[in-house]
């Protein structure tokens, strides 16, 4: 049954990806989209599909899968159903790195921001893990959550200080900070894809370890699972996944939070399946939000980060009221 559901999930993802190629601010007949996709004539329509919509769709697949896996990992590692990819300070570290790249080095191109963002995400995740594992006792979910909150608050304070004092930096940074798939080319996809693939491979191999963590410290250790190694590998995977996604598209909320909750309705609590389903359905959610943003205010667009906030906030409140999110 779960394999059947996973196959259906792939079909849903394929359908949404096809919509992402076919639907946009400029109306193009489906037959023309298909013809230009395989036999481009070098005209304006071919340029729209190959230079804009294909990179945008591929980026949505990468970013969505990364956020879905990162969210499932965070919820499993911390045993916290409210955890999201920003919990380890990754988003804050990436944001600060982008701000500093503009302020100190004058970087204004998205392709330059990607590398700074990845470095900032890695540094923040490493700082959180070091802080959460230093001192008496082994690492545990509560210590990692507290360390992540402390690091995030500190980094966000620095960001706010810089943006308040330098409006020129703010004008450039807000373009990245809104969270979007638009305006990214194939080069950006190529920059972040290796990190997403590496993080996905690492994450998908942690299902058994996350199941052991869910049973508690003593039970997990009794099953022969090295919980410290699982947490370290999980933190590394979150760093790669969330760092790459945030670097490429900016901080996009709710995808990493909602996707794991949605898939548990038909996978149950087994993290092996939660990770697999999240990797498929999270990009479907992100691409659907991106397509919706293209059509609701035609001929303009709403950035996908804005759409996910509008759609995700009421859904999250509904889940809270129904208390389904706590049934891991």
Predicted confidence (pLDDT) at residue 199 exceeds the cutoff of 90 = yes
CA-nearest of 239, 243, 237, 110 to 180 is 110
pLDDT (0 to 100) of residue 84: 76
| 79-93, 284-298, 305-319: which is most confident | 284-298
Asked if residue 53 belongs to a domain, the reply is yes
Predicted confidence (pLDDT) at residue 173 exceeds the cutoff of 70 = yes
Q: What is the Cβ-side half-sphere exposure of residue 114, based on CA atoms within 13 angstroms? A: 21
Number of domains in the chain: 1
Predicted confidence (pLDDT) at residue 21 exceeds the cutoff of 70 = yes
pLDDT (0 to 100) of residue 322: 59
Mean pLDDT over residues 159-170, rounded?
Answer: 90
Say if residues 258 and 277 touch (Cβ distance below 8 Å): no
Asked if residue 328 belongs to a domain, the reply is no
Q: What is the Cβ-side half-sphere exposure of residue 53, based on CA atoms within 13 angstroms? A: 26
Measure the CA–CA gap between 244 and 114, rounded to whole angstroms. 8
Tokens linked to 321: 């009221």
pLDDT (0 to 100) of residue 132: 76
Burial class (CB in 10 A: 0-12, 13-18, 19+), 229: exposed
Tokens linked to 23: 């639907």
pLDDT (0 to 100) of residue 137: 56
Mean confidence (pLDDT) of the chain = 85
- First CA to last CA distance, the chain: 20
220 Cβ partners below 8 Å, 6+ apart? 212, 213, 227
Find the largest Cα–Cα distance for the chain. Answer: 66
Predicted confidence (pLDDT) at residue 325 exceeds the cutoff of 60 = no
pLDDT (0 to 100) of residue 310: 84
pLDDT (0 to 100) of residue 316: 66
Supply the DSSP symbol for 52.
Answer: I
Percent of the chain whose predicted confidence (pLDDT) is above 70: 93
Asked if residue 175 belongs to a domain, the reply is yes
Asked if residue 327 belongs to a domain, the reply is no
For 61-97, write each residue's pLDDT tens digit: 999 999 999 999 988 888 777 677 776 788 889 889 9
Report the CATH number at residue 175: 1.10.3470.10
Give residue 286's domain range: 2-322
Q: Model-level pTM greater than 0.85?
A: yes
């Amino acid at each position: 049954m779960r394999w059947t559901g996973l196959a259906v999930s792939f079909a849903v993802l394929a359908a949404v990806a096809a919509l992402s190629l076919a639907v946009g601010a400029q109306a193009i007949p489906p037959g023309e989209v298909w013809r230009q996709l395989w036999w481009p004539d070098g005209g304006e329509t071919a340029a729209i599909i190959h230079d804009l919509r294909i990179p945008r769709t591929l980026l949505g697949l990468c970013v969505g899968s990364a956020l879905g896996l990162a969210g499932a990992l965070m919820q499993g590692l911390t045993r916290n159903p409210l955890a999201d990819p920003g919990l380890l300070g990754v988003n804050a570290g990436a944001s600060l790195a982008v701000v500093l790249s503009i302020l100190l080095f004058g970087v204004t191109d998205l392709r330059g921001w990607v590398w700074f963002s990845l470095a900032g995400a890695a540094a923040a995740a490493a700082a959180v893990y070091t802080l959460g594992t230093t001192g008496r006792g082994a690492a545990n979910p509560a210590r990692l959550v507290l360390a992540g909150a402390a690091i995030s608050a500190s980094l966000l304070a620095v960001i706010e200080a810089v943006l308040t004092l330098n409006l020129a930096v703010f004008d450039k940074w807000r373009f990245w900070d809104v969270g979007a798939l638009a305006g990214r080319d194939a080069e950006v996809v190529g920059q972040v894809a290796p990190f997403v693939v590496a993080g996905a491979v690492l994450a998908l191999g942690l299902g058994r370890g996350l199941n052991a963590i869910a049973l508690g410290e003593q039970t997990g250790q009794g099953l022969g699972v090295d919980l410290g190694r699982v947490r370290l590998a999980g933190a590394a995977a979150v760093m790669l996944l969330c760092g790459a996604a945030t670097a490429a598209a900016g901080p996009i909320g709710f995808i990493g939070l909602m996707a794991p909750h949605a898939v548990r309705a038909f996978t149950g609590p087994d993290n092996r399946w939660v990770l697999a389903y999240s990797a498929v359905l999270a990009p479907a959610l992100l691409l659907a939000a991106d397509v919706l943003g293209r059509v609701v205010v035609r001929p303009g667009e709403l950035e996908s980060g804005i759409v996910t906030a509008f759609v995700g906030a009421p859904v999250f409140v509904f889940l809270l009221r129904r208390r389904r999110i706590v049934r891991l």
